[in-house]
Amino acid sequence: MSHALCPGSFDPPTVGHIEIIERAATLFDSVTVAVIRNATKKATLTSDERVEFLKRCITNDKINVISFDGLLVDCAKEVGANVVVKGLRAVSDFDYELQMAQANRQLSHIETVFLSTNPGHSFLSSSMVRDIARYGGDVSSLVPAPIAADVASRFALEA
Ligand code: PNS
């Protein structure tokens, strides 16, 4: 049984995240999406909000959504995942992602598989969505339809 872990901060989830998660579900028997704290970022949405947003966007029953407080490798152990899946948008993602993959492999021998992002999403990031929403811009093509209105209002409130 192959079980993939798709970790991220998802603050908020974007169409790029959901595309990678759905592609992972075509490659592995099951997928756990984990909202995990990124120590280098201060999240706006709570973990519960991010889990709820992700659940609204994901209908595939091979995919489970959780939040986890701790190391990615401990999350993988807890859910029984044997591979980590991450999206790579551009070469600018590579150094950071490579370091994380190597650190995680050193810690627990877990492999990381990189999926190349759809080129139409390569410019897209949660921080860009937050910025656009904060100033009242249209995020409806950047985040999945089930959360677009809530992302717009939730981040506009932070302005
Ligand atoms: O969406 P992001 O912010 O790029 O996701 C990064 C995340 C949350 C996957 C990463 O920060 C992480 O794995 N955090 C958990 C702590 C951990 O395991 N750190 C060591 C990995 S090198």
User: 114 C-alpha to center of ligand 1: Å?
Assistant: 15
What ligand 1 atom has the least distance to the C-alpha of 73?
18
34 close to 86: Cβ distance less than 8 angstroms: no
pLDDT digits (tens, 9 = 90+) for 68-112: 999 999 999 999 999 999 999 998 899 999 999 999 999 999 999
3 has catalytic annotation: no
Residue to substitute in 37, 53, 72 for testing ligand 1 pocket (most ligand atoms within 8 angstroms of CB)? 72
Residue 157: pLDDT band with limits 50, 70, 90: low
Q: Under a CB-based contact definition with an 8 Å cutoff, are residues 68 and 48 in contact?
A: no
User: Does the C-beta of 71 come closer than 6 Å to ligand 1?
Assistant: yes
CA–CA–CA angle 121, 122, 123 (5° rounding) = 95
Is-above-0.85 flag for pTM? yes
- CA angle at residue 17 from 106 to 36, to 5 degrees? 50
Q: Which residues pair with 83 in a beta bridge?
A: 4, 111
Segment 133-152, tens digit of pLDDT? 999 999 999 999 999 999 99
Percent of the chain at pLDDT > 90 equals 94
Rg (CA), the chain: 15
